[in-house]
Amino acid sequence: MCSLIAFLLLLALSVSVKGSVLQIRQSDSNGMTKVTIPQKDASLDARKKDVSYRHDNFLYNASLVGNAAAFPMGKLGDERVALAWDQWADDRIHITAAIQQDVAEVKKALIAVSLH
Classify the C-alpha dihedral 26-27-29-32 as positive or negative.
negative
Cβ–Cβ under 8 Å, residues 47 and 27: no
Reported as a single tens digit per residue, the pLDDT across 24-55 is 334 444 455 555 567 777 788 888 888 888 88
The whole-number pLDDT of residue 31 equals: 52
Cβ–Cβ under 8 Å, residues 74 and 58: yes
Distance of CA 60 to the CA centre of its chain: 15
Domain boundaries, the chain: 1-40, 58-116
> How are beta strands 32-35 and 23-26 bridged, if at all?
antiparallel
The whole-number pLDDT of residue 4 equals: 61
- With a threshold of 0.85, does the pTM exceed it? no
In the chain, pLDDT over 70 holds for what percent of residues? 66
Phi/psi for 103 (5° steps) reads: -60, -40
Mean pLDDT for each 10-residue chunk of the chain (116 residues)?
59 45 42 62 83 87 79 88 87 92 94 86
- Specify the amino acid at residue 20: S
